[in-house]
Amino acid sequence: MRLPILVTLTVSLVLGLAAPLALAQPAAPPAPPAAAGEASYHSPMRLQCEDELRKDKDWYADLKEQLYAKVQKDASTYATTNNRHVLMAYAVFWLLTVGFVVLQWRRQQVLKGEVARLEQELQRALRDEAKGGAS
């Protein structure tokens, strides 16, 4: 009786753990670090450009909108990748939930069988008592 349940739980566990691993995307390669001692580039026209951005509000709004969209895209990409641990946590949660429900169902079936057995025993005892009292 217990062997099919153990086999079912084992198969569910293996499939539940394998699915998130198959769905998880590989981690993005890290950006190459700047060489030691190498200063980052700053355009000689940077100050002039910043001044122009302060004057031209439409240009500033356009750039802000473009950057906002890029930042949102980068954030969503980061949130949807490199999260294998979250997928594994969900898989473990659902496996434990399904296992718990299956175990509770099995216990309920055992208890129903026990109640049925006790009802039969009670009926038998009542019949025996009725036969003994009639004689």
What average pLDDT does the structure give for the chain? 81
Task: Determine the pLDDT at residue 127.
Answer: 93
Of the spans 22-36, 49-63, 74-88, 100-114, which averages the highest pLDDT?
100-114
Task: Determine the pLDDT at residue 135.
Answer: 59
Task: Determine the pLDDT at residue 20.
Answer: 59
Averaged pLDDT, 84-99: 90
126/121 Cα distance (integer angstroms): 9
**Where do the domains of the chain lie?**
43-82, 89-135
Residue 115: exposure state from Cβ atoms within 10 A (0-12, 13-18, ≥19): exposed
Task: Determine the pLDDT at residue 3.
Answer: 66
